[in-house]
Amino acid sequence: MHFAFLPVEPLFKKRLTKLKGENKMHHKIKNARALLGGCCLLAMMTVQPGIAMAETVLRIGMTAADIPRTLGQPDQGFEGNRFTGLTMYDALTMWDLSSEDDASVVIPGLATEWSVNEDDTTTWTFTLREGVTFHDGSPFNADAVVWNVEKVMDEEALHYDASQVGVTASRMPTLTGATKIDDYTVELTTSQPDSFLPINLTNLFMASPAKWQEHFDAASGDDAAKASAAWDAFSRDASGTGPWVMDGFVPRERLELIRNEDYWNAERVPNVERLVLLPMPEANARTAALLSGQVDWIEAPAPDAVAQIESRGFTIYSNESPHVWPWQFSRIEGSPWNDLNVRKAANLCIDRDGMRDGLLAGLMAPATGSVEAGHPWRGDVTFEIGFDPDEGRRLMEESGFSADSRLAVKALTSASGSGQMQPLPMNEYIQQALADCYFDVQLEVLEWNTLFTNWRQGARDPGSLGAHSTNVTYATMDPFFALVRFLQSEMAPPVSNNWGYIDNPQFDELVARARETFDPAERDAALAELHAASVNEASFLYVAHDVSPRAMSAKVQNVIQPKSWFIDFSPITIEE
Amino acid sequence: MFVYLAKRLLYTIPIVFSVALVCFMLVHLSPGDPLVSILPADASAQLEARLREQYGFDRPLPVQFWIWITNALGGDLGNSIANGRPVLSEVLNAVGNTLLLACAASILGFALGMFFGLVAGYFRDTWIDKLATSIAIAGVSVPHYWLGMVLVIIFSVQLNWLPAVGAGSGSWTWTWAHVQYLILPAVTMAVIPMGIVTRTVRALVGDILSNDFVDALRAKGLGERRVFAHVVKNAAPTAIAVMGLQLGYLLGGSILIETVFSWPGTGFLLNTAIFQRDLPLLQGTILVLALFFVFLNLAVDLLQAMIDPRIKRG
């Protein structure tokens, strides 16, 4: 609780200055009155802090059913990173979240600069920011970086935590280790030359070794039991270097953070004093909580509630997100999607604007690729995706299909799921749209986790039920996740998510070139070439980008919604 | 009574074991991967294999079951895969919240159900009976998640009288700051038991009133109040059995109500565990709830025997 003493003190000074030169007795009486009044004022302010010294609080209803993990490596996808990663922790590299218009790019975080060794491109040198401390007061340095790499890489390390490995190692698949050079220099190594490493490192959050050790020392049992107990305790009493400090944690109910007044980046010290995060997985419950004033901000309002929310004076923020809602085609032998004309025709037969304005109340952006114009990886796309059913039908006729000779395709999808938006209505919309272009679409609806698991099993797996496409949405913040895992032939199941077994030598060559090009601009140029080639080949049915809608009270001001899964809570103010 | 109690306690062992086995098999045989909450689908095959080994999911199912059940007997239900916290503390926290909600809903539902049932039974075939029966039918017919949403729209969104979701901040206290969070979910949850108890008690009272002993009581000159007391006493064992079953259902937590109100109870916990494929949490929660149900039924049986000496046990 912060008490507003500052405005009171000048009030007394002004009052006492004015009294100078007046009658002495009168002074005493007035002084006594002033002091009495001041005391009363202070007493009132102490008794009724809610009135006089209201703390600025931002209450957010998340879509998560539980508080994302707080021990440094959050679960629950990018919502976890958004709320319990980037708030309490920093990484060596960070996302620039300061613009609504430009693509969000990687910027220095706890590392001020980095370079790859010219003689051995599997070795990187990172220079660390000096003068940064964890919330517990311990210093951030090279030892802390090595410790945080070991927590997910070194199975022999005492603080190795298997539960953090999945969400970390998978996001930096080539990182193998870290070595301290000096207090503020570390060397990171990768299993193969990988220019994506600085982007991957945005996912490795720096937790405090000193705080963990404190919890470890307080635990009992053997080393393994103490380590497990230390991580459990750390999750309730966490310590990072981020702009927000943990102040209260009730599992499954709420997480309270207070601003870090000593944050190393003075420009990002939060304006709001307290951030309260509440899990509300049910969209109608979130909307009711917002409309009743129980929270100030909700994530992902239901599209059919948007009009009501806006009519009551609340604001909807949205922006194109690094996300794609696609059909990922099977390219195995016998798949109808092996025909380029068919792939292009499907992409031309969907009225994406109609889907946006009619079905989703404006809460989507039409997709014409994995990334859109203005993004550094967009490239020279020659196949322009839009709504042109005549051209779509022409292409289908060229491949031998017509109203009398229709093409049957089977599509996997889910009824719900993380990032899936409104999968059933959207797929039914596509089914109707493609029917006008000689397609007969059979939708095969799987439970979300089943569909998600099948993503790694591939089109040949019996679990795919002979389907010709799957419908799992993906994030495009990182080149590996946006492009490489789908387009490189060696990423076919069970290695990664090349579900449809795409095997295109041009893609493989471009992936290799991008990975081994260490100048950021040249690397982006190589990625742009890869992306353009994939769109020109109509590798996916590109349908929509999510726009990360969030609704908030009018009192929440200075919101900058970047083209990102993340958002910076620091500039936000609460206007009562 | 002691023999009966010992016998019933012995019966619980195979019941709990069977529940544990069925639950274990169901969650393992259903499609999906138990590592889905900590292992993104884009993880490499090597990483997946490594974690599968570290979590013990690479072992044969009978071995996994044996390890789990022996640990459970020692009071260790393991740790949640998704959040790493001990399952036992997760379940007990949720049980506490569900207990609170279930008790509040039970008191409300049973009191109203008893009242409407007695009135309807006593004034059978009058407009009072028709009104009480209509309320009962509405109670068992209305989808309670729909009712919950309607109550939220009226009392939270429109009137702004009560909070829409959650259980309030900090530990529970019997203050308005917390009680206000309980009202809407408790009312929503009370509707079905109210309807069921009303219908049961109405039928019981009607049946008892047609017995000869009621005429005998009246012939002996007992006032209607005394007769009524006898009717209530005769209806009590069956009514208590029904209420016990209803309380058991309520203690199991309502996934729909707890999700609609984001009430952090066992239903909410189960919902999360199912969607995250968090097997230890799912198994632990179901096991604890099964134990609750078994012991609750035992308590109801004992209570019935105490109230009605004609019921011979053992």
Quick one: average pLDDT of B155-170?
A: 88
Residue A28: pLDDT band with limits 50, 70, 90: very low
Chain B residue with Cα closest to A228: B84
Residue A554 sits at φ, ψ, to 5 deg, of -65, -20
Kindly state whether residues B237 and B107 are assigned to the same domain: yes
**How many alpha carbons lie under 13 Å from residue B247 in its C-beta half-sphere?**
23
| Range 228-247 of B in CB contact (< 8 A) with A | none
- The CA distances from residue A484 to A52, A253, B74, B137, in Å, are 56, 38, 48, 59
* Amino acid code (one letter) for A213: Q
Percent of chain A with pLDDT over 90: 72
pLDDT given for residue A178 in this prediction: 97
Q: Kindly report, residue by residue over B224-250, the tens digit of the pLDDT.
A: 888 888 888 888 888 888 888 888 778
Separation of alpha carbons B253 and B243, rounded Å: 15
A88 close to A573: Cβ distance less than 8 angstroms? no
Kindly state whether residues B62 and B114 are assigned to the same domain: no
Kindly state whether residues B172 and B40 are assigned to the same domain: no
Whether the predicted pLDDT of A568 surpasses 70: yes
Separation of alpha carbons A259 and A257, rounded Å: 7
Separation of alpha carbons A38 and A553, rounded Å: 35
**Does A453 contact B33 at a Cβ distance shorter than 8 Å?**
yes
Residues in chain A with CB shorter than 8 Å from the CB of B54 are: 162
Kindly state whether residues B102 and B42 are assigned to the same domain: no
Separation of alpha carbons A82 and A65, rounded Å: 15
| Range 433-452 of A in CB contact (< 8 A) with B | 447-450, 452
Residue A419: pLDDT band with limits 50, 70, 90: confident
Final residue belonging to a domain, choices B43, B73, B103: B73
Kindly state whether residues B162 and B225 are assigned to the same domain: yes
DSSP alpha helix (H) spans, A399-447:
423-435
Of the ranges A13-17, A88-92, B55-59, B96-100, the best mean pLDDT one: A88-92
pLDDT given for residue A41 in this prediction: 44
Helix (H) or strand (E) holding A42: helix A24-47
- The CA distances from residue A328 to A359, A494, A500, in Å, are 22, 16, 7
pLDDT given for residue B288 in this prediction: 84
CA distance B259 to chain A (A): 7
pLDDT given for residue A398 in this prediction: 97
Kindly state whether residues B156 and B105 are assigned to the same domain: yes
Test the A interface: residue of B262, B269, B274, B281 with most A CBs within 10 Å? B262
How far from chain centre, in Å, is Cα A567? Answer: 8
- The CA distances from residue A505 to A342, A385, A386, in Å, are 21, 24, 27
Sign of CA dihedral B178, B184, B189, B191: positive
* Closest by Cα among B274, B38, B57, B45 to A456: B45
**Does B277 contact A231 at a Cβ distance shorter than 8 Å?**
no
pLDDT given for residue B37 in this prediction: 67
Joined tokens for residue A102: 């430009």
Kindly state whether residues B52 and B180 are assigned to the same domain: no
pLDDT given for residue A4 in this prediction: 33
Domain membership of residue B54 (yes or no) is yes
Residues in chain B with CB shorter than 8 Å from the CB of A464 are: none
Kindly state whether residues B111 and B36 are assigned to the same domain: no
A65 part of contact set with chain B, CB < 8 Å: yes
Chain B residue with Cα closest to A473: B41
Which range marks the domain in which residue B49 is found? 11-73
Q: Which of A77, A254, A291 sits opposite B169 (nearest CB)?
A: A254
Q: Which residues contact A272 (CB under 8 A, 6 or more apart)?
A: A56, A57, A58, A259, A569, A572, A573, A574
**Does B41 contact A278 at a Cβ distance shorter than 8 Å?**
no
Residue A22: pLDDT band with limits 50, 70, 90: very low
Q: Which of B40, B93, B277 sits opposite A166 (nearest CB)?
A: B40
Residue A50: pLDDT band with limits 50, 70, 90: very low
Triad A89, A91, A94: Cα angle to 5°: 110
Q: Kindly report, residue by residue over A333-345, the tens digit of the pLDDT.
A: 999 999 999 999 9
Q: Kindly report, residue by residue over B43-70, the tens digit of the pLDDT.
A: 767 777 777 887 788 888 888 888 888 8
Give me the CATH number covering residue B228. Answer: 1.10.3720.10
Kindly state whether residues B107 and B220 are assigned to the same domain: yes
B166 part of contact set with chain A, CB < 8 Å: yes
Whether the predicted pLDDT of A575 surpasses 50: yes
Quick one: average pLDDT of A15-25?
A: 38
Domain membership of residue B79 (yes or no) is no
pLDDT given for residue A6 in this prediction: 33
A521 three-class SS? helix
Residue A61 sits at φ, ψ, to 5 deg, of -95, 110
Count chain A–chain B contacts defined by CB atoms under 8 A.
Answer: 161
Joined tokens for residue B73: 């007997």
**Does B262 contact A281 at a Cβ distance shorter than 8 Å?**
yes
Domain membership of residue B115 (yes or no) is yes
Whether the predicted pLDDT of A557 surpasses 60: yes
Task: Return the number of other C-beta atoms located less than 10 Å from residue B33's C-beta.
Answer: 17
How far from chain centre, in Å, is Cα A137? Answer: 28
Q: Kindly report, residue by residue over A444-499, the tens digit of the pLDDT.
A: 999 877 888 888 889 999 999 999 999 999 989 889 989 999 999 999 988 888 99
* Amino acid code (one letter) for B223: G
Of the ranges A296-305, A346-355, B236-245, the best mean pLDDT one: A346-355
Whether the predicted pLDDT of A380 surpasses 70: yes
Whether the predicted pLDDT of A369 surpasses 60: yes
Separation of alpha carbons A322 and A539, rounded Å: 18
pLDDT given for residue A541 in this prediction: 98
Q: How confident is the prediction for chain A on average, in pLDDT? A: 89
Helix (H) or strand (E) holding A159: none
Joined tokens for residue B308: 């009605």
A236 part of contact set with chain B, CB < 8 Å: no
Kindly state whether residues B52 and B162 are assigned to the same domain: no
Domain membership of residue B2 (yes or no) is no
| Range 265-294 of B in CB contact (< 8 A) with A | 268-269, 271-272, 275-277
Task: Return the number of other C-beta atoms located less than 10 Å from residue A341's C-beta.
Answer: 17
Residues in chain B with CB shorter than 8 Å from the CB of A253 are: 166-167, 169, 264
Helices and strands (DSSP H and E) totals, chain A: 20, 22
Task: Return the number of other C-beta atoms located less than 10 Å from residue A440's C-beta.
Answer: 12
Residues in chain B with CB shorter than 8 Å from the CB of A254 are: 166, 169
Final residue belonging to a domain, choices B42, B73, B104: B73
pLDDT given for residue A46 in this prediction: 43
Q: Which residues contact A204 (CB under 8 A, 6 or more apart)?
A: A73, A91, A92, A148, A149, A152, A168, A172, A175
Residue A53: pLDDT band with limits 50, 70, 90: low
Residue B312: pLDDT band with limits 50, 70, 90: low
pLDDT given for residue B225 in this prediction: 86
pLDDT given for residue A14 in this prediction: 38
Kindly state whether residues B160 and B293 are assigned to the same domain: yes
Given strand A315-317, what is the order of strands in its sheet?
A244-250, A254-259, A274-279, A57-62, A297-299, A550-552, A315-317
- C-alpha R_g of chain A: 28
Residues in chain A with CB shorter than 8 Å from the CB of B264 are: 252-253
Place of tokens 């206290």: B173
Whether the predicted pLDDT of A51 surpasses 90: no
Chain A residue with Cα closest to B93: A251
Residues in chain A with CB shorter than 8 Å from the CB of B49 are: none
pLDDT given for residue A504 in this prediction: 97
Kindly state whether residues B217 and B156 are assigned to the same domain: yes
Q: Which long-range contacts (CB under 8 A, 24 or more apart) does B232-235 make?
A: B232/B118, B233/B307, B234/B204, B234/B208, B235/B201, B235/B204, B235/B205, B235/B208
A302/A135: higher pLDDT: A135
Helix (H) or strand (E) holding A296: none
* Closest by Cα among A98, A103, A97 to A374: A103
- Count of structural domains within chain B: 2
CA distance A298 to chain B (A): 13
Whether the predicted pLDDT of A43 surpasses 60: no
Joined tokens for residue B280: 């230890």
Q: Kindly report, residue by residue over B113-143, the tens digit of the pLDDT.
A: 999 999 898 888 899 999 999 998 998 888 8
Whether the predicted pLDDT of A52 surpasses 50: no
Separation of alpha carbons A479 and A527, rounded Å: 7
A269 close to A570: Cβ distance less than 8 angstroms? yes
Domain membership of residue B19 (yes or no) is yes
What 3 state SS string does chain B have?
Answer: CHHHHHHHHHHHHHHHHHHHHHHHHHHHHCCCCCCCCCCCCCCCHHHHHHHHHHHCCCCCHHHHHHHHHHHHHCCCCCECCCCCCEHHHHHHHHHHHHHHHHHHHHHHHHHHHHHHHHHHHHCCCCHHHHHHHHHHHHHHHCCHHHHHHHHHHHHHHHCCCCCCCCCCCCCCCCCHHHHHHHHHHHHHHHHHHHHHHHHHHHHHHHHHHCCHHHHHHHHCCCCHHHHHHHHHHHHHHHHHHHHHHHHHHHHCCCHHHHHHCCCCCHHHHHHHHHHCCCHHHHHHHHHHHHHHHHHHHHHHHHHHHHHCCCCCCC
Q: Kindly report, residue by residue over B244-275, the tens digit of the pLDDT.
A: 888 877 876 678 888 888 898 988 888 888 87
Whether the predicted pLDDT of A316 surpasses 90: yes
Domain membership of residue B258 (yes or no) is yes
* Amino acid code (one letter) for B73: L
**Looking only at Cα atoms, what is the longest distance across chain A?**
108
Whether the predicted pLDDT of B281 surpasses 50: yes
Prediction pTM value: 0.81
Residue A276: pLDDT band with limits 50, 70, 90: very high
